[in-house]
Amino acid sequence: MAEMSASAAHAAEHERGLRHHFEDMEQQHEAGNLGMWVFLVTEIMFFGGLFAAYAIYRSLYLPGFEAGSRLLDVKLGATNTAVLIGSSLTMALAVHAAQTGKRKALVLFLILTMLLGAVFLGIKYDEYATKWHHGLVPGLKWAPDEEIPGNAPLGSVEMFFCFYFFMTGLHALHMIIGFGIMAVMAAWAWRGKFSPGYYAPIEVSGLYWHFVDIVWIFLFPLLYLIGGRY
């Protein structure tokens, strides 16, 4: 009788999203969170290496890095920072909606998160287009048509923009991936796949989105603000 009861309970949990290789929903939830945190640790090490390389080269070519920073549009950078902070809020609200079983609110907050992500990418595209127009794209169109602040050596300014495009481009790629993940989560939420007993995919997707936002929180001051602008 006890075995039949256990089997019935397991079948009920399977209906809620339990995969066959887990004993219960709690174990599945913990495994999912652990897997995402392990993945994020590898991402932290990857971006950490980029930040370390940036710091080293900045110390070696300080005048060029300061001049390059002054050529960035700090207002657009600040706007994008505010946009991503807002997207972190809507993502957190989406997780809360999933936990409380509010399907319509969950879909709404996921869509808002995607819209804010799209705004971020649109602003970043505008920045890239402006840099292309002014000949500030290393390797493809490096012919600056504006005065370099402080008459810094062009080579070291070009080095700064190599880091700028690689670091912000890699971050934008992560944003695009996150956008795709949110689209899948919104589609699943609309179909009623989540409930207060099963919302792990929303939670781990939220962890990824928050990580990408945090990376930008470091990129913004590193690239836009500490170049001796003020």
Question: Model confidence over 86-95: pLDDT tens digits?
Answer: 999 999 999 9
Per-residue pLDDT at 151: 83
**Average pLDDT along the chain, 230 residues, taken 10 residues at a time:** 44 49 58 75 92 94 93 95 97 96 96 97 96 93 85 91 96 95 95 88 93 95 75
The predicted structure's pLDDT at residue 33: 67
- Determine the pLDDT at residue 157: 93
pLDDT at 4: 43
Q: What is the 3-state secondary structure (H, E, C) of the chain?
A: CHHHHHHHHHHHHHHCCCCCCCCCHHHHHHHHHHHHHHHHHHHHHHHHHHHHHHHHHHHHCHHHHHHHHHCCCHHHHHHHHHHHHHHHHHHHHHHHHHHCCCHHHHHHHHHHHHHHHHHHHHHHHHHHHHHHHCCEECCCEECCCCCCHHHCCHHHHHHHHHHHHHHHHHHHHHHHHHHHHHHHHHHHHHCCCCECCECHHHHHHHHHHHHHHHHHHHHHHHHHHCCCCC
Q: Which CATH architecture has domain 47-225?
A: Up-down Bundle (1.20)
pLDDT for residue 198 = 85
Q: What pTM was estimated for this model as a whole?
A: 0.85
* Residue 102, pLDDT score: 94
Q: What is the pLDDT of residues 78-119, one digit of tens each?
A: 999 999 999 999 999 999 999 999 999 999 999 999 999 999
